[in-house]
Amino acid sequence: MSYRIAGIDVHKKMLAVVVSNVEVESEFQFERRMFGGNPEQLRLLAAWLLEQEAEEVVMESTAQYWKPVWGALERYWKPIREKREGAKRRSGTLHLAQAQSNRGRRGRKKDFVDAERLVKRLVARELTLSFVPDVEQRLWRAVTRKKYQLRRDVVRLNNQLESLLEETHIKLSSLVSDLLGVSARRMLKALADGETNPAALAALAHQRLRATPEQLCDALGACTELKPVYRRLLKMTLEHSVNRVPKATILREIIGDIPPPGSLAWC
């Protein structure tokens, strides 16, 4: 009886791939082949694995380079192995091994040896495998991570602005909850452009702002002695925040375009 498993040592530009029958009493006899990392080579890899009748594939989670390999096999190899006549229970299974669990002895790295070790340790259940969600979950994960990164960037910019203003004795953050909001942005932009009159800056605030003009004038009083260097730093920080709102709007549109989980659009 034959049950063949493939091991892939993943690099940025090339893949070392081995396949062997694992239901043998003696040493595994590996078929070896090198592939590139471009899309055409990944399709050739999937075709070769089908030709070799590999039932399972195990690869190492090397940086982010495993993702296109996984995606190509998920598209071109996995469905064919799962749906073929006589398919076994685990036919078409992809495994992602944590690199730490496949470490070899110290010395020069050998690609095919690493791929062979993946197969041997998978059979011996010595690998630590990572959970890889399906395509739908991976898409939602990418979007939510980007949303978190944008939110984190906004918080970071707010903190930078507050730190800079406190250093210049401008207490605007005591009266305005969001330094990147409409009112604060108007006043800070004018301040960065060289405005030195506190009353003129206070007049730029939105009428719905709770702080009174007198309070704003008091908080912005230090603008009369603000050094040009601080104005340039303030302008630079504000320029970094210009694209945050459009990006957040685009991200909301992207989220709205994604089909809800479990809908027929994913089928």
Please say whether the beta carbons of 96 and 61 come within 8 A. yes
**Beta strands 14-21 and 31-36: pairing type?**
antiparallel
- pLDDT per residue rounded down to tens, the chain (267 residues): 589 999 999 998 999 999 999 988 888 999 999 999 899 999 999 999 999 999 999 998 878 899 999 999 999 999 999 888 878 888 999 999 998 888 766 655 667 899 999 999 999 999 999 999 888 888 888 888 888 888 888 888 889 999 999 999 999 988 988 888 889 989 999 999 999 999 999 999 888 888 898 999 999 999 888 999 999 999 988 888 776 656 767 777 777 777 766 664 544
Please say whether the beta carbons of 68 and 40 come within 8 A. no
- pLDDT for residue 71: 93
CA distance 222 to 170: 6
- pLDDT for residue 267: 46
Buried b (16+ CB within 10 A) or exposed e, 71-102: ebbbebbbeebeeeeeeeeebbebbbbeeeeb
- pLDDT for residue 241: 77
CA distance 64 to 192: 41
- pLDDT for residue 264: 45
Q: Helices (H) and strands (E) in the chain — how many of each? A: 10, 5
- pLDDT for residue 74: 94
CA distance 216 to 198: 8
- pLDDT for residue 46: 96
For residue 95, which phi and psi values (nearest 5 degrees)? -120, 140
CA distance 178 to 172: 10
Global pTM value: 0.72
CA distance 161 to 42: 47
